[in-house]
């Protein structure tokens, strides 16, 4: 069977590395699996692929009448526009269950871990397929990225175990040093436009019929944004109007001090304040301890949006 393996719009490192790793596994199991991406990769992902010698997946945004294996999402808002015309044969995901449905049975690997590549590592073990050294390297990096080098509340014992085993295969002796090398690349924002930064790790969500966009930038020092805040707000407002969104949020996440500065453009700022128990000042608030969009942001927003 020929299939494509692809992650969400505005792909992050997990989405890209999962497409590559799962496509390799499926090919070893006898299918013709092609890794794909829905958008351009970010600097961190480019660093990871270059470091371990991988080409980028092909760019493909239409899957009508194609066999498609989804990785790292299950929400329609993050899917190709013609997803309902595709034949979805499987999903690997570590987020909340979304609103994608199928007309035929499918393979599903859904687990509450920190990264899709942790699940794919389990799939390799289940099928007793050996992981090549270079592939182990990008899988390791994806887990370090998604778990913020183990600091995220989404990180589990399974994620840590997977990284330790993948590091041995990849020949990586200092896991955390590799993680910091990645995040220093991610922290480089000079030369990027506000739109490039806002959408570098961005997802749209349907929250009780209202479109909410949430971007996140993880850096080692929030001071890199000191001269950018006004420009970021200006483009967030443009993004909100362009997509007829109710709200656009941007998390500027400090992985060293473990907290996020929240930037808000919304039709209803009081709802955002209620979600996080904070008071916005100049449409901003600092959220100590907040590192994870999927565990510490989206659930709280969905709860309050369901009441308005």
Residue 142 lies in a domain: yes
Strand partners, 204: 213
The string of pLDDT tens digits covering residues 94-137 is 999 999 999 999 999 999 999 999 999 999 999 999 999 999 99
Average pLDDT, rounded, for the chain: 97
Q: Do 143 and 224 fall into the same domain?
A: no
Identify whether the C-beta of residue 61 lies closer than 8 Å to the C-beta of residue 82: no
Q: Do 234 and 264 fall into the same domain?
A: yes
Sign (positive/negative) of CA torsion 251, 253, 259, 263? negative
Residue 151 lies in a domain: yes
- pLDDT, residue 76, reads 95
Residue 107 lies in a domain: yes
Residue 189 lies in a domain: no
Share of the chain above pLDDT 90, in %: 97
- pLDDT, residue 190, reads 85
pTM: 0.90
Residue 126 parent element (H or E): helix 116-127
Give the CATH number for residue 301.
3.10.310.20
The string of pLDDT tens digits covering residues 66-88 is 999 999 999 999 999 999 999 99
Among 152, 184, 216, residue at a domain's last position? 184
- pLDDT, residue 188, reads 86
The string of pLDDT tens digits covering residues 137-191 is 999 999 999 999 999 999 999 999 999 999 999 999 999 999 999 999 988 888 8
Domain boundaries, position 70? 2-184
């Amino acid at each position: 069977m020929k299939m494509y393996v692809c992650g969400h719009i505005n792909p992050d490192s997990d989405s890209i590395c999962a497409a590559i790793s799962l496509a390799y596994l499926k090919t070893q199991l006898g299918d013709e699996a092609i890794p794909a991406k829905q958008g351009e990769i970010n600097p961190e992902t480019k660093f990871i692929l270059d470091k371990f010698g991988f080409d980028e997946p092909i760019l493909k945004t239409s899957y009508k009448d194609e066999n498609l294996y989804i990785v790292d999402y299950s929400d329609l808002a993050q899917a190709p526009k013609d997803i309902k015309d595709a034949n979805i044969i499987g999903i690997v995901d570590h987020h909340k269950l979304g609103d994608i449905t199928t007309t035929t049975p499918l393979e599903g690997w859904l687990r509450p871990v920190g990264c899709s590549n942790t699940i794919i590592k389990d799939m390799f073990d289940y099928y007793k397929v050996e992981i090549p050294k270079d592939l182990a390297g990008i899988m390791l990096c994806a887990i370090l990225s998604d778990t913020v080098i183990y600091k995220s509340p989404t990180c589990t014992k399974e994620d840590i175990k997977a990284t330790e085993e993948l590091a041995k295969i990849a020949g990586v002796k200092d896991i955390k040093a590799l993680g910091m090398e990645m995040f220093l690349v991610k922290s480089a924002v000079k030369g990027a436009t506000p739109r490039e930064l806002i959408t570098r790790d961005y997802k749209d969500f349907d929250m009780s019929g209202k479109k909410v966009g949430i971007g996140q930038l993880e850096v080692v020092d929030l001071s890199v944004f000191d001269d950018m805040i006004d420009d970021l707000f200006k483009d967030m407002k443009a993004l909100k109007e362009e997509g007829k969104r109710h709200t656009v949020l941007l998390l500027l996440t400090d992985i060293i001090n473990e907290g996020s500065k929240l930037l808000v453009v919304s039709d209803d700022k009081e709802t955002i304040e209620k979600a996080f128990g904070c008071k916005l000042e100049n449409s901003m608030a600092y959220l100590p301890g907040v590192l994870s969009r999927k565990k510490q942001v989206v659930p709280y927003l969905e709860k309050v949006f369901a009441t308005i």
